[in-house]
Amino acid sequence: MRTDDFDYHLPQELIAQTPAEPRDSARLMVAFRDSRQVEHTVFREIGRYLEAGDLLVLNETRVIPARLFAKKAVSGGQVEVLLLKKIDSLRWHALVGGKKVRVGIELVIGDGLRAWVVESLQGAERVIQFEQPIEPHLDEFGQTPLPPYIHHKIENVSERYQTVFAKVDGSVAAPTAGLHFTPQLMEALQKKGVRFGRLILHIGLDTFAPVTEQDPSQHRIHTEWCQVSEETVRLIRETRQMGRRVIAVGTTSVRALETAATHSPEGSMQPYTGMTDLYILPGYSFKVVQGLITNFHLPRSTLLMLVSAFAGREWVLSLYQTAIQLRYRFYSFGDAMLIL
């Protein structure tokens, strides 16, 4: 298995620059693993493919306004700070943009909030220490970060790059499969008997990073914090007992669910809270997830590898080629797949 095996060519014009409006008007490709049949519809029709008792598992993480603009206290030079991961109450792992952002430099954000570069990591990554917790100030000084391939200005970006069920602050990227749900669609699914489970996985920017190693198993997977609650585990047990399906809404939900299962005694499912470095490649044996709602992912990415592990690399890449031929929209603001 080589990283090149997960490569494909995508015409630039198929990278969605704006979200579907309304959310559930995005297109939906429905792919059945057993029969290899494929259907094409719109997301609001997803209920046609779900049954009473099926469990959709949502990631309730919320994207924070993690992009900050600062000045060097002494020279006044501009520095952009993108918060990646919280280390403790004052320190954050961050990505910086600007000239000579060295250890010891003092930064000023907004009208006087101070911070210092306390550690230099790989490339443009730094550890930033704030004089006080930054979270209460993010709504005032921060901006919502968008993936690097989105170049258009998005109106109401803090709302549109956020799921309608987001609750817990902590991500710098949205769980994009969830962007297609509206409150009305969720209500209609519940009336049909479809149930919703909830978990948290805080997403970092590494989710967009391509695998650069020729052997994907040599890639160092990013770690993320996740939590699968006792309530969600109970719903999963009930779903299995009823003979219905556990369907992950997004690859982040897959990662959290399979992490919890991996840390549980064989044949059981227990709650889990902590970091995950689970790396799902073809050959992985899924323990929980029986269906997947997901967007179309970047070439050579760990997300495409995860989807390939779930449905088979050759078939998934053939579905991607079909999507390109039919002019589906790709990536974060793009269209969706339901794989059953």
- How confident is the model over 30-57, as pLDDT tens digits? 999 999 999 999 999 999 999 999 999 9
pLDDT of residue 324: 98
Q: Has residue 208 got a pLDDT over 70?
A: no
Mean pLDDT of the 101-128 span: 93
Cα of 216 vs its chain's centroid, Å: 20
pLDDT of residue 111: 85
Band of pLDDT at residue 153, cut at 50, 70 and 90: confident
Q: Is the dihedral of CA 240, 245, 251, 253 positive or negative?
A: negative
Band of pLDDT at residue 222, cut at 50, 70 and 90: confident
What values do phi and psi take at 147, rounded to 5?
-60, 155
Rounded to whole angstroms, the Cα distance separating 227 from 225 reads: 7
Mean pLDDT of the 250-276 span: 95
Band of pLDDT at residue 182, cut at 50, 70 and 90: very high
pLDDT of residue 181: 98
pLDDT digits (tens, 9 = 90+) for 7-24: 999 999 999 999 999 999
Here the tokens at position 144 are 């919502």
Mean pLDDT of the 99-119 span: 93
Domain 67-141, CATH: 2.40.10.240
Mean pLDDT of the 85-112 span: 92
Q: Are 199 and 59 in contact (CB under 8 A)?
A: yes
What is the third-level CATH fold of 3-63+155-339? QueA-like (3.40.1780)
Q: Has residue 243 got a pLDDT over 80?
A: yes
168-171/61-63 β-pairing: parallel
pLDDT of residue 31: 98
Q: Are 296 and 311 in contact (CB under 8 A)?
A: no
Return left, alpha or beta for 168; rule: phi > 0 is left, psi -120 to 50 is alpha, else beta.
beta
Same fold, 3-63+155-339 and 67-141: no
Helix H, strand E, coil C: the string for the chain is: CCHHHHCCCCCHHHECCCCCCCHHHCEEEEECCCCCCEEEEEHHHHHHHCCCCCEEEEECEEECCCEEEEEECCCCCEEEEEEEEECCCCEEEEEEECCCCCCCCEEEECCCEEEEEEEECCCCEEEEEECCCCHHHHHHHCECCCCCCCCCCCCCHHHHCCCCCCCEEEECCCCHHHHHCCHHHHHHHHHHCCEEEEEEECCCHHHHCECCCCCHHHCCCCCEEEEECHHHHHHHHHHHHCCCCEEEECHHHHHHHHHHHHCCCCCCCCCEEEEECCCCCCCCCCCCCCEEEEECCCCCEHHHHHHHHHHCHHHHHHHHHHHHHCCCCECCCCCEEEEC
Rounded to whole angstroms, the Cα distance separating 190 from 199 reads: 18
Mean pLDDT of the 163-189 span: 97
**% of the chain at pLDDT higher than 90:** 86
Alpha-carbon Rg for the chain, nearest whole angstrom, is 20
Q: Has residue 206 got a pLDDT over 80?
A: no
Domain-wise residue ranges, the chain: 3-63+155-339, 67-141
Q: Would you state the torsion angle of the CA atoms of residues 290, 10, 145, 74, taken in this order, to the nearest 10 degrees?
A: 140
Which residues is 336 bridged to in the sheet? 28, 295
What values do phi and psi take at 206, rounded to 5?
-60, -20
Rounded to whole angstroms, the Cα distance separating 122 from 87 reads: 16
Rounded to whole angstroms, the Cα distance separating 174 from 23 reads: 14
Q: Are 226 and 256 in contact (CB under 8 A)?
A: yes
**Which of 103-112, 224-233, 244-253, 290-299 has the least mean pLDDT?**
103-112
Q: Has residue 253 got a pLDDT over 80?
A: yes
Residue 62's identity, in one-letter code, is: R
Band of pLDDT at residue 85, cut at 50, 70 and 90: confident
Which residues is 309 bridged to in the sheet? none
Output the average pLDDT for the chain: 95
